Structure 1
Amino acid sequence: MKFYNREKEIAQLHKIEKKSRNTAQMTFMLGRRRIGKTSLLIRATENYKTLYFFVSKKSEPLLCEEFTTEIKNKLGVDIFGELKSFKDVFGYLMDLSTKQHFTLIIDEFQEFNSINSSIYSEMQNIWDSKKNESSINLLLCGSVYSLMSKIFENSKEPLFGRATARIHLKAFDIAALKEILSDHYPEYTKEDLLAFYLVTGGVAKYVEILVEEGSFIKNDILDHVFSDNSLFIDEGKNVLIDEFGKDYGNYFSILSLIASSKTSRVEMESVLEINIGGFLNRLESDYGLIEKVKPIFSKSNSRSIKYQIKDNFLNFWFRFIYKYRSAVEIGNIDYIKNIVERDYDVYSGRILEKYFVDKMMQEGIYSDIGTYWEKGNKNEIDIVAVNEYEKRLVLAEVKRNKDKIKLNILQQKASSLLNNFNKYSIEYIPLSLDEM
């Protein structure tokens, strides 16, 4: 699959590389697993003198042996004696970077935490003492979001404040997904596009799998997800197990409830019969997996709060695969597939709302976008978008079938909301598969 949609990030990495020729740069990149961090770094540095260190779960001396071989092969230097600790390796490279310029990528950087947690403080001391004379371009990448955030953004950690740049790599946007489908299957329908968006969420690895399998039609996409030995079946657990550790049960239960439309804290606590405030805070702030949804224009202290999973694939996985994990354990994947087919129209209708919110955000013409409801979930409006500069308010009803949208009912729902927008032009629009 060709390289898509990373022009801004590549430009930023090239700019950082150029700066590093005069002054040492430390950049950290984070993003969920499978998002394409490593591929991006390799692509952006392919024309530069670059070392690539992968921090696998090995002993420190074995890792340093691998790193030493990489240094000799890529930089053509002789190393006398053995570098048995990463402190020695990093110190050697920082000294070397005062004489020659190169890029160093350290992938799965957070794994040092389990190998030797003192490495971070040792790196800090070496960096602080030698960065002014160095011309190294240091790129640090990790796939455990919470640990990478902690390492660089927690004021109590040694590397806090040392990074000169931060890149948060996100999923492919809607324009990129359309481009990918157009390149590989120009005959795709709006239904196919929705299924592609619904399952992959723009995550590079999932997109790549479907492209390699030639799965672009809705039915083919679902057939592959629920095929024998499909990566997707265990993927949710594989992605999150390192984030949550062995005590993942409560987190998974909460995410499963949110994916099944129990989106308020009260609803979730009534099922789980525990206080989940701390879990919700960590899922939002530490792990970046969920986000609060409030009625647009509500006060900051409003208690009218719902939660949603930000990642499309994880939402799908918790809704259909984790929820029916007993069927997974006995190998009855067809049972789950039948449930997906039964519930697909309702489920995909909700994802269609998210699609249009994403699309409108990416258009860059609105100052605020959200949803709206009143007390008791009354007068719900799927999308409210504001262009404050042009004094324009857009209200949208979203349904898969355009014929089922009643704009007169939408106008009635908006009567209270409009009291705050007397001088605005008001536009009521239907959004369906046809408008994708």
Structure 2
Amino acid sequence: MSMSIYFIDRDSELRSLEEALSSDKPELVIVYGRRRIGKTFLIRQLLEGRRGVYLVVNHTDPDLALRDLARQLLSQVQLPYEPLIRDFDDLYRLFEGSRAQLIVIDEFQRLHGTGAVAKLQAFWDQAKERSRLKLVLSGSSVGMMERIGLSHESPLYGRASRILRLGPLPYRAARLFTEAYAEEDRMRTFAVFGGTPGYLALLDDRAPLIENLRRLVLSRAAPLREEPLVSLSMELRDPSRYIAVLEAVASGATKLGEIADKAGVEHSEVGKYLRVLERELDLVERRYPLLEEGRRGRARYYVKDHFVRFWFRFVFPNTHLLELELEDRVLDAVARHLDLHVSQAFEEVALEHFSLLAREGAVGFTRIGRWWRGDVEIDFVAIDETSKMAYFAEVKWSTQPVDQRVLYGLARKAEEFPWRRGERREVYVLYSRAGFTFTGDRDVLLFSLRNLQGLFERHRPLKRSLKPPAEPSPDSI
């Protein structure tokens, strides 16, 4: 029985890759993003119907990697002779000799620093003059793949015709994995599993969210029970300090000193760990108040991935209970505190909604972002330099309808925002899970969860039902 698989969104990425593979020129394409983000599935769909070879770098040792890649290549192509593959030069020359239209090398970052990258550059500089070969390099180590493709010091710098970075799906796409759920539960699911397709594809929307949590995250055989630890262990030699820093940020520490104290690391060292988590692993993001980007001492740090934030908040601290198979105790804690966790994801979804409104022309802005100063925080502010318009937004994930006290509080906070004070036009924007006790007007925009649902349905991404991609075989080359 074939598995039902959906390909959701990624239309622009797929279109870009299809254009590259359909061109009459040689193309070197780099595709990268975190584990389970959908890179391999996207690429394997491109292999369908093409004379393609799919290779995976399984080793960091260059000799082991060479032997393994040669074995993979020879299992997928038919050659009239027995080739001698002594080094990467020999391997790369076979790319042309195989008559393949497309060569994919997945987990390419594992060859970084081995000399194989420089040899690929030498091969490519010659091959592109005499063939129309399409070469796709894919990898899941964000920082390393950026150094391979974007660093001036990389041998491949300037060679790639396209560089695609895959990130998590936006909410409007992620919600399509759970179409049987009510919108509130779709929001909760997004807050737990985020926009990572590899996690969302495991969900069964015929079962409640709590049962999906038990099956996928909490039970002894759950496929995602140790997912963040596995990812960190694959990328880092000693992940212990990074784990402590992630747990501190997930629990609410946002400033360098707070994070260092909670994680139990030296204040002078915490920045180093955060840089790796931000730039290399794409797990942490650094935010600045709107109009103060890059200003020293103003940064705050947040866990970027919703599932990682959930895992470090609810799973990692309760490992002892899970080892005793006391899953219900953990689920009780999740039930008590989940709404607080969801509120942060709801802010992100509100930003996405407001950006779609701008796409439709309902609002206009030139810059948008969160803003804070001292004890004053505004969920997001959007400004339009041309019209001197400022939008101030408050986002509430509460069970009670929002009343006018929230509006008045937002207006008082807006007085602290310094941009064009006294000459700007102000519009207040309120988002509420449970609706409102009052009505809005042209200067007060009110959006309930139902309003969000309507807009996301209008901007519904394409959802295609697919069969799992077939393995390449020698007969296809």
Same fold (TM over 0.5): yes
Q: 1:6 and 2:5 equivalent?
A: no
Q: Map 1:335-374; keep pairs closer than 5 Å.
A: 335-361=329-355, 363=357, 364=359, 365-374=364-373
1:226-249 Cα distance to aligned partner (Å, 9 max, x none): 23411121111122222222x111
Q: Distance in 2 between matches of 1:178 and 1:214?
A: 11
What secondary structure, in the 3-state scheme, does the structure 1 residue paired with 2:371 have? strand
> How far did 1:150 drift?
2.4
Distance 1:46 1:299, change over 3 A: closer
Moved more, 339-348 or 414-423: 414-423
Residue 264 of structure 1 is matched in structure 2 by: 255
Q: Does 1:230 align with 2:236?
A: no
Distance in 2 (CA, whole Å) between partners of 1:54 and 1:419 is 52
Partner of 2:77: 71
Are the counterparts in 2 of residues 145 and 243 from structure 1 also a CA contact under 8 Å? no
Asked whether the equivalents of residues 245 and 260 of structure 2 are also in contact (C-alpha less than 8 Å), the reply is no
Report the CA distance shift for 1:166/1:55 in structure 2 as closer, same or farther (over 3 A): same
Give the Å deviation of 1:132. Answer: 1.3
Letter in 1 for 2:432: S
Question: Shift in Å at residue 301 of structure 1?
Answer: 2.1
Change (3 A) 1:287 1:193: same
State how far apart, in whole Å, the 1-side matches of 2:122 and 2:255 are. Answer: 46
2:464 is aligned to: none
Alignment partner of 1:191 is 2:184: yes
Partner amino acid, structure 1, of 2:117: Y
* Larger RCO (CA under 8 A, 6+ residues apart): 2
Deviation of 1:35 (Å): 0.8
Alignment partner for residue 320 of structure 1, among 314, 317, 332? Answer: 314
Which of 46, 49, 60 lines up with 2:48 in the alignment? 46
8 Å Cα contact 2:142/2:279 also seen in 1: no
Where do residues 18-417 of structure 1 align in structure 2 (5 Å cutoff)?
18-19=22-23, 21-22=24-25, 24-57=26-59, 58-72=64-78, 77-94=79-96, 96=97, 102-113=101-112, 117-182=114-179, 185=180, 188-210=181-203, 213-214=204-205, 217-224=208-215, 225-245=217-237, 247-271=238-262, 272-274=264-266, 275=268, 276-298=270-292, 300-361=294-355, 363=357, 364=359, 365-375=364-374, 378-401=375-398, 403-404=401-402, 406-417=406-417
Instruction: Give the counterpart letter for 2:18 in structure 1.
Output: H
Distance 2:298 2:83 in 1: 64
Unaligned runs of 5+ in 2: 434-447, 453-477
* TM-score for the superposition, normalised by structure 2: 0.81
SS in 2 for 1:170: coil
Post-superposition shift, 1:160?
A: 2.7
Q: 1:169: how far off?
A: 1.0
CA distance in 2: counterparts of 1:53 and 1:30, whole angstroms: 15
Deviation of residue 49 (structure 1)?
1.8
SS of alignment partner, residue 323 of structure 1:
helix
Contact residue 55 and residue 111 of structure 1 kept, 8 A: yes
- Structure 1: which amino acid aligns with 2:229? K
Cross-structure match for 1:430: 430
Aligned identity (percent) is 25
Q: Distance in 1 between matches of 2:341 and 2:132?
A: 52
Alpha carbons of 1:228 and 1:432: their partners in 2 closer, same or farther (altered >3 Å)?
farther
Superimposed CA distance per residue, residues 353-403 of structure 1 (whole angstroms, 9 cap, x where no aligned partner): 12212333455454222222222xx22111212244444322121111252
Q: Is the 8 A contact 1:101 1:135 kept in 2?
A: no
Please give the alpha-carbon distance, in whole angstroms, between the structure 2 residues aligned to 1:217 and 1:334.
15
- In structure 2, distance between residues paired with 1:396 and 1:216: 34
SS in 2 for 1:384: strand
**What is the CA–CA distance in structure 2 between the aligned matches of 1:193 and 1:388, rounded to whole Å?**
36
Q: What whole-Å deviation, never above 9, does each CA across 1:43-97 have from its counterpart, x for those lacking one?
A: 133232211112223553243122112122xxxx423333354331211223x38
Between the aligned partners of 1:140 and 1:157, the Cα distance in structure 2 is 14
Q: Secondary structure, in 3 states, of the residue corresponding to 2:6? A: coil
**CA distance in structure 1 between the partners assigned to 2:92 and 2:331 by the alignment:** 50
CA RMSD of aligned residues (A): 2.4
SS for the counterpart of 2:277 is helix
Residue aligned with 1:167, SS: strand
Give the distance between the partners of 1:205 and 1:39, measured in 2 at CA.
10
Higher helix share: 1
Cα separation, 2, equivalents of 1:181 and 1:331: 27
**Aligned partners of 1:69 and 1:302: how far apart in 2?**
55
Deviates more, 1:385-394 or 1:425-434: 385-394
Change (3 A) 1:201 1:122: same
Contact 1:386/1:392 (8 A) holds in 2: yes
Question: 1:167 and 1:299 mapped to 2: Cα distance?
Answer: 25
Q: CA deviation at 1:293?
A: 1.6
- Total equivalences in the alignment: 416
Question: CA 1:49/1:362 → structure 2, altered by over 3 Å: closer, same or farther?
Answer: farther
